[in-house]
Amino acid sequence: MKVSEIRELTEAELRQKLSDARQELFNLRVQQSSGRLEKPSRVGALKRDIARINTVIRQQALAKRTA
């Protein structure tokens, strides 16, 4: 997911995407521990997506505070 796509979302949509991404990461970690993970690179990509979403949420919160 690109940052430009993330910035277009509302706060509620961002929170939902973050929740979905965290759930998917949990599921991937369970698969990884049981040895059934097909795409190990997806774990890293998902972590980066979560970080991007958190960053945009924080930027929006700071922008509201200063405005």
User: Token match 């991937």: residue?
Assistant: 28
Mean pLDDT by 10 residues, the chain (67 residues): 94 98 98 95 97 97 92
Rama region for 10: left / alpha / beta (φ>0; ψ in -120 to 50; rest): beta
Fold held by 3-66: Helix Hairpins (1.10.287)
45 contacts 1 by C-beta, under 8 angstroms? no
Residue 37 DSSP code: -
Residue ranges of the domains in the chain? 3-66
Q: Is the pTM of the predicted complex or chain greater than 0.95?
A: no
| CA–CA gap between residue 47 and residue 51 (Å, rounded) | 6
